[in-house]
Amino acid sequence: MSGRLEAQIAFLREADKLKSILRASRLIDGSRRENSAEHSWHIMLYALVLSEQAGPDVDINRVLRMLLLHDIVEIDAGDAPIHGHVDHAAMAAKEAAAAERLFGLLPGDQASSFRALWDEFEAASTPDAIFAKSIDRLQTPIANLVTGGGSWTEYDVTLAQLEQRVGVPVKRGLPRVWDWLLPQLRAFFARQG
Amino acid sequence: MSGRLEAQIAFLREADKLKSILRASRLIDGSRRENSAEHSWHIMLYALVLSEQAGPDVDINRVLRMLLLHDIVEIDAGDAPIHGHVDHAAMAAKEAAAAERLFGLLPGDQASSFRALWDEFEAASTPDAIFAKSIDRLQTPIANLVTGGGSWTEYDVTLAQLEQRVGVPVKRGLPRVWDWLLPQLRAFFARQG
């Protein structure tokens, strides 16, 4: 078992680097940018707390695993801010190579199952992945509303852009939460004039 | 549902503060102290990767939920370094009050179920909690071995102390991992003379 365990520990050590990948969003207290490891923890908490919003075809345990793994590719590929100018095809290729290398540190059976879960998340077409993507998109708007705009201000985001980039995925998996959030977003952007 | 959702979001916003609770341990690259939110993410990854080390009576999905929630009390109570001088009774009282306030932000049914899961983790007597505690204790030694001592050097920790504070809980839930780790710890402390 020693070779197998060595491979697993090598992967777990490498994963430490996700704590140094910074996102566009900031902590709610404004003190610094959020990193992708703590973001992953936070959205797993979102998923657990809001699991009652998921349809009966969603397996929350699979969703939690998807969210646990979903950003690991950023160790090699970096974070692509949702409101930034990103070459999506180039980014997808970089992330696929990252998945290959990073999950490839694991023993073959785990590399395959983790990769399959990440591919499913990225494709966002199963009920579990749709719910996971909605959760992933929800955390930043909740924080930005409290902090007076956060990354929206920095990236000069309009309500129409937000409805497209955040509203569409959130509505798919969390329609009632979107109904609750949208009036707050409208009020916020109305105040910005 | 709006009142219920408001309470859930209030809890999720408050949880953001866990990203500012610093632990004694550092990132593997040495750049800064680790915070309890990213630590929680990392040990969930440990639990998933090493789930094959758990006995048949361990439910890894419950373990992941325990680890997701286990440090939230630190938002009010702070982190008690394992090798620091801590008044354990006073700390337990502070953490219980923190659990009361923080989980109490949630709707009653969720407050109760999260609190029960946290109490179970703390008591460390069920198979799920024993495995979760082992995982929680494993991450820092793995990092300290790579970084040349880390928090062991800072807290002047001996191998005997480590065998007690880390060895005992790790052995309970991950005996084969402890068998693999112990010779490395011995070699490390032998080199320190």
Residue B84 pLDDT: 81
Query: Would the pLDDT of A10 be above 70?
Result: yes
pLDDT digits (tens, 9 = 90+) for B26-46: 999 999 999 999 999 999 999
Give A4's pLDDT tier (boundaries 50, 70, 90).
very high
- Kindly state the percentage of chain B with pLDDT values over 70: 99
Q: Is A46 on the interface with B (CB under 8 A)?
A: yes
Query: Would the pLDDT of B1 be above 70?
Result: no
Residue with token string 């068998």: B179
Q: Within 13 Å and on the Cβ side, how many CA atoms surround A183?
A: 5
Contacts of A106 in chain B (CB under 8 A): 49
Residue B68 pLDDT: 98
- Kindly state the percentage of chain B with pLDDT values over 90: 88
pLDDT digits (tens, 9 = 90+) for A75-113: 999 988 888 888 989 999 999 999 999 999 999 999 999
Q: How far is A142 from chain B (nearest CA, A)?
A: 8
Distance from chain centroid for Cα A151: 15
Q: Is B37 on the interface with A (CB under 8 A)?
A: yes
Residue B90 main-chain phi, psi, to 5 deg: -65, -40
pLDDT digits (tens, 9 = 90+) for A11-52: 999 999 999 999 999 999 999 999 999 999 999 999 999 999
Give A154's pLDDT tier (boundaries 50, 70, 90).
confident
Give A1's pLDDT tier (boundaries 50, 70, 90).
low
Residue A8 pLDDT: 98
Query: Would the pLDDT of B193 be above 80?
Result: no
Query: Would the pLDDT of A119 be above 60?
Result: yes
Report ipTM (2 d.p.): 0.96
What is the rounded average pLDDT of the residues A162-166? 94
- Name the helix (H) or strand (E) containing B92: helix B88-103
- Partner-chain residue, chosen from A16, A35, A49, that has the shortest CB–CB distance to B12: A49
pLDDT digits (tens, 9 = 90+) for B7-25: 999 999 999 999 999 999 9
Q: Is B97 on the interface with A (CB under 8 A)?
A: no
**Residue contact B49–A146, C-beta within 8 A:** no
Contact A57, A125 (CB under 8 A): no
Q: How far is B119 from chain A (nearest CA, A)?
A: 18
Determine the Cα–Cα distance for residues A157 and B79; give it in Å rounded to an integer.
Answer: 38
**Sequential DSSP letters for B145-193:** HHHTSTHHHHHT--HHHHIIIIIHHHHHH-HHHHHHHHHHHHHHHHHT-
Query: Best of B9, B17, B109, B178 to disrupt the A interface by mutation (most A CBs within 10 Å)?
Result: B9
Question: Which residue from B68, B44, B12 is spatially nearest to A140, judged by alpha carbons?
Answer: B12
CA–CA distances in Å: residue B29 to residues A19, A20, B150, B191:
10, 9, 11, 21
- Partner-chain residue, chosen from A12, A20, A34, that has the shortest CB–CB distance to B19: A34
Query: Would the pLDDT of B175 be above 90?
Result: yes
